[in-house]
Amino acid sequence: MGVLRYGLRVSWAAVSALPRRWLKGPGHPAWTWRAEVVGAVARAAAHGVVGVPLKRIRAGMLGANRPGAMRRRVQHSVTQLAGRPAEVHVPRGWTDDRPTVLYLHGGGYVLGSPATHRDLISRVAWSTGCRTVALDYRLAPEAPYPAALEDSLAAVAELSADRDRTQLWLAGDSAGGGLSLATLIALRDRGEPQVGGALLLSPWVDLTDAGLDPSVDNDHDYLCSDLLKMCSGHYTDSDRHDPLVSPATADLTGLPPLMIQAGGAEIFLPQVRQLAERAQDAGVEVVLEVREGMVHVFQAFCMFLPEARQAVRSLGTFLRQRWAQD
């Protein structure tokens, strides 16, 4: 799809969302008019790139601007971490005795960067009160599995080299959430100390055939099985039941506290619920929050959705309470 045609498709989705709502009612019973517009635009944008070469998609992805309030509250800088580019978000008032969060962005292991998630990551930093370091891990297909996992493990080692490992937390959305969980499993299996916990936003934890089943597609979420198949095919051609590829298949015993958030209308909801149940059965402290009507990684739409801002505040509360307990 050409750039002009793609732009027109997304623009039309935005313009037509409210008249359609007025004529036919909300697209989802829980959607406000803001959620209606966000859902329509995100769906048009995501479905419009199916079949488009990755190089073209990446070229069209822009960095996420931070609103003035976030720029005043959270200092942003660029750095290097474990040999990879990274961005650092330091909230006002942070001191070195507080935890650090390693953030792993989403994008199906093939798209995205710390820049595309800059607004969300700044908000996580402010909510948690923690310095938050976003890693620009290697992407597939140029660097397929296990490259991203190796980068994440190297970042954990560097960030915790001179401090207690429990002072480090992981966070990530979508593929970054799955990668965060895989990192926890790898640390445990290597016999290394665990981090303090993890915040998982709509984590993609099942890349098996069950996790890519078209039957999970719906008319509300912007994700679809075609996109997932494209991304997973680039990420790995090995055994997708490998727990480090599909953490939903792993033994979760011995993992640190987890907070998992998902949208009630997203196609990952079944695998996220299953993950939370299996973690609880394994004796892991886990809190699952499902926001009614919300789509995949709805937290990325904080500038438009109060539900997203509430969810990010909840992430901060979870981490702060456990840090205070330590």
In the residue annotation, 266 being an active-site residue is answered as: yes
16 and 135 in a single domain? The answer is no
Q: Active site residue: 28, 127, 266, 307, which one?
A: 266
18 and 109 in a single domain? The answer is no
CB neighbours (10 Å) of residue 66? 20
Q: What is the DSSP code string of 65-100?
A: PPPHHHHHHEEEEEEEETTEEEEEEEETT--TTS-E
Q: Active site residue: 113, 160, 174, 314, which one?
A: 174
Number of domains present in the structure of the chain: 2
171 and 309 in a single domain? The answer is yes
182 and 264 in a single domain? The answer is yes
In the residue annotation, 158 being an active-site residue is answered as: no
173 and 318 in a single domain? The answer is yes
The helix (H) or strand (E) run that includes residue 163 is none
Query: Is residue 58 included in any domain, yes or no?
Result: no
In the residue annotation, 296 being an active-site residue is answered as: yes
103 and 21 in a single domain? The answer is no
Query: Structure tokens of 118?
Result: 């800059």
How much is the pTM? 0.96
105 and 238 in a single domain? The answer is yes
Walk along the chain (326 residues) and give the pLDDT tens digit of each residue.
Answer: 455 566 667 777 777 888 888 888 989 999 999 999 999 989 888 888 888 888 888 888 877 788 888 999 999 999 999 999 999 999 999 999 999 999 999 999 999 999 999 999 999 999 999 999 999 999 999 999 999 999 999 999 999 998 999 999 999 999 999 999 999 999 999 999 999 999 999 999 999 998 889 998 999 999 999 999 999 999 998 889 999 999 999 999 999 999 999 999 999 999 999 999 999 999 999 999 999 999 999 999 999 999 999 999 999 999 999 987 66
243 to each of 182, 185, 260, how far by Cα in Å? 7, 8, 18
Its domain, for residue 41, covers 1-48
